[in-house]
Amino acid sequence: MADGIAGTPIRQSRTICLSITEEDYEKTVDDCAAFRRWVTLSFKESPELFPKGFTPKFSLKDRRPSEKQKITIRRIQLPDGNAWSVRPSFVMPGMTARTKDVEQALFLRKFAVPYWALAHVFGRNPMFWYRAECRLGRFSVVGTTVKKTEIPRDLLADEHHQKINGEKCFIATTVGGGCILGAEVAETAGCEDLTAAYGVFGQEAVEVQPDYVPTTVNTDGWKATRQAWTNLFPLVIVLSCFLHAWLNSGPRTSIIPPAIEPVICLTA
């Protein structure tokens, strides 16, 4: 997909990543007509992988060899003058490695396997694996997870407490339809920071589905969270989690009914 077109706080990367096998890519990259057909067909099937405003009326700009992976990379130029590199999906961002060579190690990061352990088992060095994981954060979460269906309009939002370099922060997380749709760091749990963090989901959603507006969002009742979603989507209905609403309702008695004595019926 288009690296960095949504939710990238550092700089915009002008790279479009498209799915293709290495064997097919070798047959396509040196053939101008075949390369154009591949890009055009990819745009028709998955427009969310391309930058906003992309049009099939592009021109082939130039090509360059990748010294790291020993493959050829082409660039295309859009009518607005911007040039974008087209990267095949079998190589990682930054051309650091083949995806097949790093997928198993990166999968283990889901279970918090430390970088030094990955380096011990899979080779390279801890910093390589750290950078490989960080590069995955360039992608649009919505654009990556939502393909052939509409974005859910009934959402749940909450902040996960986390630490970065020992400093407390909050991961503003948006889920819906059984899928994670957003996860962005907020330095504080204040309205301004949460609006910016949840706003990344909003921006990515609109890029995939221009008319997108959520119907409801369920929160734990935190005032800043509620206000952040109202700021982003003024018409959204903000719901409160039943459990949190009950816990915050003040003094209460047990809602568990007393034990019922068994009744024994005797018949003659």
DSSP 12: -
pLDDT of 187? 92
pLDDT of 10? 40
- Which pTM value belongs to this model? 0.58
**Alpha-carbon distances, residue 34 vs 27, 29, 46, 90 (angstroms):** 8, 8, 18, 18
Nearest to 158 by CA among 171, 141, 177: 171
258 has pLDDT over 60: no
Task: Compute the distance between CA of residue 225 and CA of residue 160 in angstroms, rounded to an integer.
Answer: 12
Domain chopping of the chain, boundaries? 1-94, 96-139, 142-247
Query: Parallel, antiparallel, or unpaired: how do β-strands 216-219 and 237-240 relate?
Result: parallel
Task: Compute the distance between CA of residue 166 and CA of residue 156 in angstroms, rounded to an integer.
Answer: 28
How far, rounded to the nearest angstrom, does the alpha carbon of residue 194 sit from its chain's CA centroid?
17
What are phi and psi for residue 192, nearest 5 degrees? -65, -50
Task: Compute the distance between CA of residue 184 and CA of residue 172 in angstroms, rounded to an integer.
Answer: 5
First to last CA, the chain: 79
210 has pLDDT over 80: yes
Query: In this predicted model, what pLDDT tens digit does every residue of 129-172 receive, in sequence order?
Result: 999 988 877 766 676 666 667 889 999 999 988 887 788 999 99
Task: Compute the distance between CA of residue 14 and CA of residue 74 in angstroms, rounded to an integer.
Answer: 12
Give me 71's structure tokens.
């493959």
**Mean predicted confidence (pLDDT) in 205-212:** 87
Band (pLDDT 50/70/90 cuts) for residue 7 is very low
CB 152 within 8 A of CB 174: no
Number of neighbours of residue 159 by Cβ within 10 angstroms: 22
Q: 142-247 sits in which CATH class?
A: alpha beta
